[in-house]
């Protein structure tokens, strides 16, 4: 849930990177952390297993500067993709203002992508949120694989993108599409926030 501090003119939004195991969620945050100047981001916090898979979450705070008179900050989170950490994924997703769904483009991962998307909807419903109202961006990761080993963006759209939300072909290991996805979801979140606050401003 977006936190707005009118006294200090600050806005803080929560963005969650969601998807199946090893789809590239943590890689996104690591790339962002490496590229953003140190005065614009905090330290990345990761709690992982010995196999380097995210156990609880990754967390990265970003400072976007002043937007429409408000100092705007993003808190970026990832969730573990493994089925045994369902409760963790559900907890981390609570209060999300926007979601980047990181799909694994490897051909054998199509069912896992569809299952993770179904889980996303179930978890949002469990928090009393209509999934259709949450700003969502599809990031089709690992699109740098040879064509015979991956599912194309158009094919992934047919299975995953029935809301026709923005979709980004990506290769997070080398940064391709990473900031494009972050910009798309941030724009959608701030646009939704502006739309929701407009009636109150008009009444005032």
Q: What is the pLDDT of residues 136-169, one digit of tens each?
A: 999 999 999 999 999 999 999 999 999 999 999 9
Contact by Cβ (8 Å): 155, 126: no
User: Which secondary-structure segment (H or E) carries 168?
Assistant: strand 167-169
Evaluate if residue 57 carries a pLDDT over 80: no
Q: Is the dihedral of CA 65, 14, 112, 52 positive or negative?
A: positive
Cross-strand pairs, 32: none
Write the CB contacts of 132 (distance below 8 Å, at least 6 apart in sequence). 163
Q: List, in order of start, the domains of the chain with CATH numbers.
A: 3-203 (3.40.50.300)
Contact by Cβ (8 Å): 120, 93: yes
Band of residue 203 on the pLDDT scale cut at 50, 70, 90:
very low
């Amino acid at each position: 849930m977006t936190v707005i501090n009118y006294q200090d003119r600050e806005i803080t939004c929560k963005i969650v990177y969601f998807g199946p195991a090893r789809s590239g969620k943590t890689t996104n945050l690591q790339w962002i952390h490496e590229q953003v100047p140190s005065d614009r981001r905090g330290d990345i916090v990761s709690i992982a297993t010995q196999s380097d898979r995210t156990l609880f979450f990754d967390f990265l705070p970003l400072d976007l500067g002043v937007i429409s008179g408000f100092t705007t900050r993003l808190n970026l989170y990832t969730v573990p993709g493994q089925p045994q950490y369902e409760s963790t994924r559900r907890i981390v997703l609570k209060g999300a203002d926007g979601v980047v769904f990181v799909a694994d483009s490897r051909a054998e991962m199509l069912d896992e992508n569809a299952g993770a998307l179904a889980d996303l909807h179930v978890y949002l419903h469990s928090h009393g949120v209509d999934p259709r109202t949450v700003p969502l961006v599809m990031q089709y990761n690992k699109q740098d694989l040879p064509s015979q080993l991956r599912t194309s963006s158009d094919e992934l759209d047919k299975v995953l993108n029935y809301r026709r939300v923005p979709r980004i072909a990506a290769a997070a290991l080398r940064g391709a599409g990473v900031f494009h996805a972050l910009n798309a979801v941030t724009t959608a979140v701030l646009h939704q926030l502006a739309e929701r606050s407009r009636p109150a401003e008009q009444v005032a």
